[in-house]
């Protein structure tokens, strides 16, 4: 445990968030003041808004905020790169200046009152602290069901993911350094961070409603995000093709015996037996072949990601 106050950088991606920025910065500055007074964080700590190519007055507001307050900074992306990319841009820009960084959405739906707990866990030696929702009362039943099914599906496909954790988390500088080694383009941070390893812990919190503005994640975007998450982390869907192909081949054998029985003991039209047997057999063989090609594509996919093969935690000499 270190007693030194940590330099904390808050990283906040913003896309068309002019309606919330004033209130968000007020609330964050307030909790910063309190944490600085308690010597939890150093006065050098900063709030960094990342403007993700907004089309409204978001950047003008960020500009004004940063001019009036030295704790606030702004990064402007040249175009809308998407939430995950904006977050990564912010984290990678600040990583050399901070001891730890906390990422949070601009609408502060995630409870900022638990940030002191994040910092305490960081000072106790955790490199990653995941913010986990302890209830989903503010979500609709549909969202609750789809989110739960999604986490279950991900886990069943071998992806290491923390249920009910989105992108509200603290990462230490060395965890950020590890994250910087991941050169993949399709980002799904909530599954990438656990791959960094290091000691982690969770902090539970209540998720609020968005206090102003509207969600930038409509259902269509959410589905494509989920699809991205699966296809960026698992080749299980490809394996399913091979398994299905093998099952088809076995069925084709049964179908072959069945068609022969009908041919000899029943009544069939000429050509039916050979047709039936070939349809099943060829179907099975084709699926199996696609699955086999898929295995190689899966390998290529893993290679092109160029993920770090290992991350060294300590080297004692």
Residue 210: is it exposed, middle or buried by C-beta count within 10 angstroms (0-12/13-18/19+)? middle
Q: Does 107 bind ligand UDP (CB under 6 A)?
A: yes
- Please, are residues 8 and 44 in contact by the beta-carbon 8 Å criterion? no
Q: Which is nearer to Mg ion, 109 or 259 (CB)?
A: 109
Q: Which is nearer to Mg ion, 52 or 107 (CB)?
A: 107
Q: Which is nearer to Mg ion, 3 or 209 (CB)?
A: 209
User: Among 5, 6, 9, 13, which residue sits at the site for ligand UDP (rule: CB under 6 A)?
Assistant: 13
Q: How many CA atoms lie within 13 A of 49 on its CB side?
A: 34
Q: How far apart are CA 154 and CA 132, in angstroms?
A: 17
Torsion angles phi and psi, residue 161, rounded to 5: -140, 140
**17, interface contact from Mg ion, ligand UDP, none, CB < 5-8 Å by kind:** ligand UDP
- The H-assigned helical ranges of the chain are 21-37, 58-68, 83-94, 115-123, 141-156, 173-180, 189-192, 219-233, 236-265, 272-305
**216, interface contact from Mg ion, ligand UDP, none, CB < 5-8 Å by kind:** ligand UDP
The single residue listed with the structure tokens 């070939």 is 278
User: Among 19, 25, 65, 82, which residue sits at the site for ligand UDP (rule: CB under 6 A)?
Assistant: 82
Q: Does 52 bind ligand UDP (CB under 6 A)?
A: yes
Q: Does 216 bind ligand UDP (CB under 6 A)?
A: yes
Label residue 213 left, alpha or beta by phi (over 0 means left) and psi (-120 to 50 means alpha).
left
Only one of the segments 81-89, 92-100, 190-198, 230-238 lies at the binding site for ligand UDP (rule: CB under 6 A); that segment is 81-89
Q: How far is the CB of 109 from ligand UDP (least distance, A)?
A: 5
Q: Which is nearer to ligand UDP, 48 or 288 (CB)?
A: 48
| Closest by CA position to 126, among listed 202, 66, 58, 67 | 202
User: Among 25, 45, 109, 172, which residue sits at the site for ligand UDP (rule: CB under 6 A)?
Assistant: 109
Residues binding ligand UDP (CB under 6 A): 13-15, 17, 52, 80, 82-83, 86, 105-107, 109, 215-217
């Amino acid at each position: 445990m270190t007693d030194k106050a940590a330099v904390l950088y808050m990283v906040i991606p913003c896309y068309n968030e002019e309606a919330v920025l004033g209130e968000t910065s007020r609330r964050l500055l307030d909790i910063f003041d309190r944490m600085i007074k308690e010597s939890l964080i150093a006065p050098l700590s900063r709030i960094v808004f990342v403007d993700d190519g907004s089309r409204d007055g978001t950047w003008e507001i960020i500009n004004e905020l940063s001019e009036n307050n030295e704790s606030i900074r702004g990064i402007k992306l040249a175009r809308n790169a998407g939430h995950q990319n904006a977050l990564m841009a912010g984290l990678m820009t600040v990583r050399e200046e901070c001891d730890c960084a906390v990422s949070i959405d601009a609408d502060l739906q995630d409870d900022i009152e638990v940030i002191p707990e994040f910092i305490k866990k960081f000072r106790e030696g955790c490199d990653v602290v995941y913010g986990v929702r302890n209830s989903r009362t503010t979500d609709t039943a549909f969202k609750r069901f789809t989110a739960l099914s999604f986490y279950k599906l991900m886990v069943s496909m071998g992806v290491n993911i923390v249920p009910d954790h989105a992108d509200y988390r603290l990462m230490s500088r060395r965890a950020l350094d590890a994250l910087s080694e991941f050169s993949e383009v399709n980002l799904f941070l909530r599954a990438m961070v656990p791959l960094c390893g290091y000691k982690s812990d969770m902090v539970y919190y209540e998720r609020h409603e968005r206090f102003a503005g509207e969600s930038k994640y409509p259902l269509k975007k959410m589905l494509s995000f989920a699809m991205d998450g699966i296809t960026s982390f698992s080749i299980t869907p490809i394996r399913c093709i091979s398994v299905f192909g093998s099952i088809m081949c076995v069925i084709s054998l049964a179908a072959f015996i069945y068609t022969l029985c009908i041919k000899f003991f029943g009544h069939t039209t000429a050509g039916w037996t050979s047709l039936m047997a070939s349809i099943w057999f060829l179907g099975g063989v084709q699926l199996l072949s696609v699955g086999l090609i898929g295995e190689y594509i899966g390998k290529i996919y893993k290679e092109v990601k160029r993920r770090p093969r290992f991350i060294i935690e300590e080297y004692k000499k």
